[in-house]
A and B are shown apart, each in its own frame.
Chain A
């Protein structure tokens, strides 16, 4: 196995891109990443995406994006793992380069959601869950998270407002990120009074649907110096799965796939939770942020929310999370999100995070979650 590094990053602003289609957004991110790396060609392209078939009527994104980006002929394929598609695509690129079969791999994530905002989009997102035994009962994706959150509040005797810190931190951080969707702070009062979506989850627990694309270029670490003096090493890459549905979990309040992938990643990188300087976690809903912190070893069971209450997750805290706004405020273009997390972690490690910069960050973790915890991909990145 070869050591692998990120030599280029690219992203579009996250938001409502009425004038840019799926292929244009993907091109923007891929072209920016190729320019950043200074490469004209690549050996392979892995495109993370969830909803292209449902929303744009377009499957088969591998050749479409490769051709559109001027890369006709190379190996290219769409990678789908619901909201975890983006990091899954990076994982596939990592495997390709680490194995020695490919030298330059492009890993992109793209999602075009705003062409259909309504019940069809709600139904498309619900396809991340079990069609025969969850979705058929009229359940939406937010409702699945609401079932988890209500049980969490009940079992651990926590108040809903104890989760406010996750969203307040995300919004405060997004102010400094020019690519974020919501660049404005929110207050605890606003969190408390936000409109209910599926009780107990309200609007400010929830990340927004959006369009966006992000990309990274990977190559063997031994060759990274040919392209850049600011490469970010992939110290660990790990994926784990759990049951598709919540009702099939041994313990619905524990993200087993987060624990499994985080532990594999710590082992590969030879580090532990205490060594991580910042954590781009998957705050699709505040409850996911808390459960991710617990299963990844940053908090005890039932106590992930305490890191939001005591300020540990803020810049300058013990473990800054969602340093560029997270899913909540940067926005959540589902299949692209995992690549955004890795691009943002790389920005931090390269010292290019601008107003969001965490000083002296050298080791960053990114965790992307598909479905209600069914596919979880954890990466640990190391700066120079």
Chain B
């Protein structure tokens, strides 16, 4: 049962073969097993999940069921959930209970999804390995000594370990796609503004975007249809009708699709076994009728330095609200207001968060703004222009998601720059606000390899259809990690 995808569960629920309560009970039982969960959940909401499942079953009996009614999912612990702790992976918010739901949570609940719990993540979504979480690292189900990727590592690991058929994630510089790749699942970062950011704890406001993580493109489409759309509470939400992505999976055939292969994404940085898998996937797409076109995104290399100015700069400001006054960690017996701020923040934030706050503060400070922040915004423009040119010629861009497969826990924890460099293929889509997904495309030494597809603005339908087409012809996405029953 837990092997089923969302689409399959949806059909089983509709056919009356299973109830939401049964599904929910079964998955909660798996989440309770530490050897399966591998610390992928921060909070499990069993009681509430069962109540929601019962309600979903009643709705279905009353003839009021949609495709997601009764489907259990998990939320990344960055999405605020009314009356349930939202920690954002941080000691700072260990006891924070939001008095509101994030729009994403609200919409998926309205669509009938059952929330199993809140998944582990890098603290404030800052990290690429899930090792910066205050709640400890998450194990990769494919090899428990390795990282699941980050920052949505808990969501990716939970889906890969069949603890939930789908989960929400957020992606600021690759935080959905990279863990999806490292855990062998499918994850989509939508066009900036597609999915409301309301109630999603902010990391870097102009880059953050929530999205679906599941085993298949079809499931991602179902979840995206449930969470996307205009939200008047988010000024950056796009006022535009949402496509029916699930219904459009067959509308964009791979035959004749022009797929760009940027030279810059196939350089020296990529591990040989990753290159092999990506090349094989490219070959497969060609066999399915796609036309592979060599293109260039000349400013790719600059995306990392630009990102590591823009993201920390926005973060340094976004995280100023954690001051120990209205919510969040407060130090013991502050002597004055300065002491209250400095110690509450120093105690409440972990090392990576503090590093980024420091970098961002520096980049925005008097005398450095032009050299760092403004310069980074200019480079952002150049990167965006690269894509605009590319998309005048191709429908999609293909490349690796991550330069390596899952790396051992602890390997890069003491070298922030090495960690940052691993985001090289995912960051540009965030800077340009483009939709991009990662899908399983093979294995190297028993570890999953992901392929990334980047689309033009608002082309989620085409992206998911292309991935769906690929998944119809391959079975990488159907492989399960060993030892998960």
Check if A and B associate.
no
